Structure 1
Amino acid sequence: MYAIVEIAGQQFKVEKGRTIFTHRLEGDADAALVFDKVLLVDDGGAIQIGAPGIEGITVNATILEHLKGEKVIVFKKKRRKGYRKKNGHRQYLTKIRIDDILV
């Protein structure tokens, strides 16, 4: 059984027991989350598609930790002009575990 859920503006395919990384969410570690914007559910071949969401189905999750992602280097250059600029960026992330999909 899996579901497609919208979390913090992004869509994720979630299954029970799976851990995913999302954009930073509100809440402390070990806090419980409930996501009710479920877009699709596959329960053993029986597929339900929402327009835009399915009512009555929720996904329960737990926040494991807050962390920062890998560093991304942003490098800009204009040839023959002597222009070079180097910046770095680390995205704030939240690691969550999917506890249950309630149909």
Structure 2
Amino acid sequence: MFAVIKTGGKQYRVAANDVIKIDKLDGNAGDIVEFGQVLAFGEGESATFGAPFVEGATVTAEVLKQGRAATVIAFKKRRRQNSRRKRGQRQHETTVRIAEILTGGAKPSKKAVEAKAETAPAAVPLFTAPAGKGDDIEVIKGIGPVAAAQLKEQGITTFAQIAAFTDEDIARIDAAMPFSAEQIGDWREQAKELAK
């Protein structure tokens, strides 16, 4: 059985166990989310369509991970004006696995919700923080109090750590945190000077 759900201003045709990427939702990996805006469900000629939504129908899904989409470049040039502008945008997105399609006001299966909660992975920092007191990484241009707190949660506390980032490390941070690879690369160059 399939269903058509609406979330983030878009519509998705889904079935049980489908894995889809949607606009960012609040929640951590392993959380169960519900989509109450179901436009249609069923199979073949027995499909039910809403006006606009089907009353009493919901779709539940498990959050697999939070991430960001590929970079989209917006380039604008005004000819003969010596003017050009290049900007990048990475949309935040959530990857979910469809668990159940519920109709007639049915509630999510308690057993399924409990099983998902038990298997939810614990958040593991990207790096292991070195022993001792860390450096004041807010000295690096571009790292404010909020960014510093996020980096410390991932075990990044010293100039030496940032200076030693490999390109693979930068790619991991770029995928898991709201910082661009160019931004992290700039921090690495500044940290090399500060770590001397």
Q: Secondary structure at the match of 2:27?
A: coil
More strand by share: 1
Task: Give 1:44 shift.
Answer: 4.3
Structure index of larger Rg: 2
Q: More relative contact order in 1 or in 2 (CA 8 Å, sep 6+)? A: 1
Q: How does 1:74-93 map to 2 (within 5 A)?
A: 74-93=74-93
Aligned to 2:58: 58
> Which consecutive unaligned segments of at least 5 residues does structure 1 have?
none
Aligned to 2:27: 27
More helix by share: 2
One-letter amino acid matched to 1:23: D
Aligned to 2:10: 10
Divergent runs of 4+, >6 A: none
Query: 1:45-64, CA deviations, whole angstroms, 9 ceiling, x for partnerless residues?
Result: 31111011111211110000
Aligned to 2:40: 40
Aligned to 2:155: none
Task: Give 1:77 shift.
Answer: 0.3
> Which consecutive unaligned segments of at least 5 residues does structure 2 have?
104-196
Q: Select between 37-46 and 83-92 the one with higher mean Cα deviation.
A: 37-46
The alignment's C-alpha RMSD in Å is 1.1
TM-score, normalising length: structure 2: 0.51
Query: When the two structures are aligned, how many residues end up with a matched partner?
Result: 103
Percent identity over the alignment is 38
